[in-house]
């Protein structure tokens, strides 16, 4: 059992609680505005804010040059990481949450370690181990079982689940890529640049799909619910949770991924209490299979 409990328990526990809350916050936000508008506003504000703090306030307070400007190579690395981690993953996630329940969004996050293990094996050019493949299949089966009644009750669609799958594969690839780079920049600077670059890379799609379409734009309302969602997704999720995630990954990427065990538990609790989404025997059984798959994949 001790092998399943990573070091840095307070940081890991707080990360899981904050990261799982993104599903409910996004679900509220997409009720007011198009998902891509919500995502782009979040990315551009969050990225700009973190960089202004890192290069302005923080640097003036410490007088330290450690918050250096990225080199050309580092900009390329940040752009690749931003594309996978922010543009594709978070863009897909916010689009999918328009069509699936917040609980399923959190449950899909918990399957990341299984894809991480598989992609790590491919990255190292070795055959995936039996437990890695078995864990992945068990996790996907769990998501399918948990989703089954939601498909019938309009809490999820097949299209939404496929978009979630694309995002899950993308963030898993981002984690493997991030762990393969010896990052010189501090966490806050790395996070700020990757969020801002991810927002710029998503911007053309947002303009094409949402902003330049009068019918879509007219359905977006920048009300208190929208800005409350943006605020939560920026500070507790984009800033606090990602800072904790980068810290955990730098300590040990595999152990860090174990904290995703808790995301579906927090996620379903939030969605039940705040969104009134159902928790059924299918939900419990599916979550159990996902956690079992995670255990097998890490065995």
Distances in Å between the alpha carbon of 79 and those of 33, 84, 141, 195, 203?
27, 9, 34, 10, 14
What's the whole-number mean pLDDT along residues 166-175? 90
Report which of 31, 38, 28 is spatially closest to residue 206, judged by C-alpha positions.
38
Residue scoring higher pLDDT (238 or 175): 175
Residue 197 has pLDDT above 60, yes or no: yes
What's the whole-number mean pLDDT along residues 4-33? 82
Report which of 195, 186, 179 is spatially closest to residue 239, judged by C-alpha positions.
195
Q: Are 245 and 53 in contact (CB under 8 A)?
A: no
What's the whole-number mean pLDDT along residues 212-223? 84
Q: Are 285 and 264 in contact (CB under 8 A)?
A: no
Total of domains in the chain: 1
> Which pLDDT value is given to residue 238?
78
Residue scoring higher pLDDT (86 or 58): 86
247 vs 244: CA distance, rounded Å: 5
Residues 6+ apart with CB under 8 A from 71: none
82-96, 158-172, 188-202: range with lowest mean pLDDT: 158-172
- Domain interval for residue 97: 2-298
> Which pLDDT value is given to residue 212?
81
Residue 123, CB-side half-sphere exposure with 13 Å CA sphere: 15
What confidence tens digit (pLDDT) does each residue in 108-147 have? 777 777 777 778 777 777 777 777 778 778 877 887 888 7
Residues 6+ apart with CB under 8 A from 43: 86, 90, 195, 196, 198, 199, 202, 238
What confidence tens digit (pLDDT) does each residue in 254-274 have? 677 677 777 888 888 888 888
299 vs 296: CA distance, rounded Å: 5
- In the numeric block, the tokens 């609790």 are attached to 269
């Amino acid at each position: 059992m001790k092998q399943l409990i990573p070091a840095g328990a307070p940081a890991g526990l707080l990360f899981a609680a904050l990261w799982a809350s993104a599903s409910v916050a996004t679900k509220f936000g997409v009720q007011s505005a198009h998902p891509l508008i919500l995502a782009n506003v979040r990315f551009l504000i969050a990225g700009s804010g973190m960089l202004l703090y890192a290069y302005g306030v923080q640097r003036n307070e410490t007088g330290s040059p450690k918050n250096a400007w990225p080199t050309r190579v580092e900009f390329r690395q940040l752009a690749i990481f931003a594309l996978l981690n922010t543009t594709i993953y978070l863009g897909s996630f916010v689009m999918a949450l328009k069509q699936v329940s917040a609980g399923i969004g959190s449950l899909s996050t918990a399957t990341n370690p299984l894809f991480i293990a598989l992609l790590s094996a491919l990255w190292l050019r070795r055959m995936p181990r039996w437990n890695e493949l078995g864990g992945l299949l068990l996790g996907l089966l769990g998501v399918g079982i948990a989703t089954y009644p939601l498909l019938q009750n309009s809490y999820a669609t097949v299209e939404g689940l496929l978009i979630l799958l694309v995002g899950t594969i993308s963030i898993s690839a981002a984690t493997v890529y991030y762990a393969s780079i010896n990052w010189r920049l501090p966490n806050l600077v790395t996070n700020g640049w990757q969020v801002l670059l991810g927002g710029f890379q998503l911007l053309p799609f947002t303009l094409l799909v949402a902003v330049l379409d009068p019918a879509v734009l007219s359905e977006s309302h920048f009300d208190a619910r929208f800005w409350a969602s943006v605020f939560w997704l920026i500070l507790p999720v984009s800033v606090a949770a990602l800072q904790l995630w980068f810290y955990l990954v730098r300590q040990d990427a595999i152990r860090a991924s174990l904290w995703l065990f808790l995301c579906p538990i927090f996620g379903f609790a939030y969605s039940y209490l705040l969104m009134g989404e159902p928790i059924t025997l299918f939900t419990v059984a599916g979550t159990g299979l996902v956690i079992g798959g995670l255990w097998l994949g890490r065995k």
